[in-house]
Amino acid sequence: MRLLPLAALSAGVLAPAAQAWGFLGHKTVALLASRHLLPETAVFVRSFLYRDQSIMDAAVWADRYAHVPFGRYSKGWHYIDARDEPPTWCGIQYNRDCGDDGGQGGCIVSALVNMTARLQDQTLPWPQRAQALRFVLHFLGDIHQPLHTEHLSRGGNGVHVLFHGRETNLHSIWDGAILEAVWGRGNDRVVAHLTNDLDGRLGPGGTYTADKETWRSCMNVSNTQDCALGWAGEANTYVCSYVLAKEVEGKELGGAYAHGAVPIIERQIAAAGYRLAGWLNMIVCGRHGLDELPGAGYTAYSGVGEDALFGVVEERHEEDVRIDRAIVEFEKMHPEVECDGLAFQGIRVQH
Ligand SMILES: [Zn+2]
């Protein structure tokens, strides 16, 4: 069954700038990861989620934060601007590409280094480690989006394209529209559906079974930069091999182009979720713990995954209550912000 957007998605529904996978991508990464956590890791994650906050909601927080004025400093942390020349040659160099970006500083690689270290730092107060977890949950997703590793036309934000007749840009359709056209908008039912499907492909005999060894090959939380650069480089190769392999400016991409992009996007989301679980297991247990038990992966930790979904320990810290209220107020005034749940109203799908 294929779901296609019927009503034109207003440009405002999609992120206005290079930010992230949409809700569907990020929530699926987090939910998939939760199913591969070791029991100790699941307890750890829960302990840093706010009461009633799900790991899926925690994974999208960083985008909402980057959109509000007081969180804007973190905007440059969501990508790395590879100064390559797609489709002729692709590649990431840390010193060249993770420079001072418009005065904001840093990139997704340095942010992952920093937030991984902060999450491990037991001397930091709880709210700061909780925030570090939210960033890690998010950035492991973003770094797998090919256009979050590309400088050209602001990661494709400046490449105008059509998607089922609607004017949009290349970045936006890679963030969300291509995947949502197949699976539906990112409500929790759709997220669970996609997660189940990808988890099945990770299981015995699945499409991704042979890739898992590669996906878990770099899990060194003491040398985050190397691993993060590897993941970013992997995503960046798709920029040359597919995303910008042919001229796309002004083209309708809802047909054959989207059809070819879906397997890449699904694969990247699966890799991100799988790696996120291994990364968190490394932080907590010192081993990636992936596929550790007989038949592990698909079913072994599914019970743990349910446990890891919601925080039960801490109420929101006072400062975070203030930040979250301000985010909600800002989004009410600026309904174009993607992460405002209200922005999803009015979207129709047909079978
Ligand atoms: Zn993001």
| Cα 100 to middle of ligand 1, angstroms | 18
What tens digit of pLDDT does each residue of 297-343 get? 444 344 444 555 666 555 666 767 777 777 777 766 665 444 333 22
Spans of all domains in the chain? 14-340
pLDDT category of residue 51 using cuts at 50, 70 and 90: confident
pLDDT of residue 69: 83
Share of the chain above pLDDT 70, in %: 79
Q: Residue 85: pLDDT above 50?
A: yes
Give residue 145 CA to ligand 1 midpoint distance, Å.
10
97-118 tens-digit pLDDT: 996 554 457 899 999 999 999 9
Distance from the alpha carbon of residue 39 to the mean position of ligand 1, in angstroms: 28
Q: Sorting pLDDT into bands at 50, 70 and 90, what band is 21?
A: confident
- For 98-113, b where at least 16 C-beta lie within 10 A, e where not — what string? beebeeeebbbbbbbb
**227, pLDDT greater than 70:** yes
Question: What is the distance in A from the centroid of ligand 1 to the CA of 37?
Answer: 23
Ligand 1: distance of its center to the CA of 205 in Å?
32
DSSP SS3 for 314: strand
The whole-number average pLDDT for the span 13-36 is 74
First to last CA, the chain: 7
> What pLDDT score was predicted for residue 328?
74
pLDDT for the residue numbered 302: 44
pLDDT at 222 over 70: yes
> Which tops the pLDDT comparison, 153 or 80?
80
Tens of pLDDT, residue by residue over 240-249, are 999 999 999 9
Report phi then psi at 314, rounded to 5: -105, 140
- One-character DSSP codes across 132-166: HHHHHHHHHHHTTSGGGG--TTTTTTT-EEEETTE
In order of 54, 77, 118, 236, 315, the CA distances from 47 in angstroms are 12, 25, 15, 34, 11
Architecture of domain 14-340: Orthogonal Bundle (1.10)
Give 195-207 pLDDT, tens digit per residue.
999 999 998 899 9
Half-sphere exposure of 7 (CA within 13 A, CB side): 11
pLDDT of the residue at 314: 58
Residues 310, 49: Cα–Cα separation, whole Å? 7
Rounded distance between C-alpha atoms, residue 24 and residue 22, angstroms: 5
pLDDT at 288: 94
What is the per-residue pLDDT for 309?
64
The backbone torsions φ and ψ at residue 91, rounded to the nearest 5 degrees and listed phi first, read 150, 150
Read off the pLDDT of each residue in 41-62 and give the average, rounded to a whole number: 88
CA of 65 to the centre of ligand 1 (A): 10
Distance (Å) from CA 256 to ligand 1 centroid:
27
Identify the weakest region by mean pLDDT among 11-20, 89-98, 164-173: 11-20
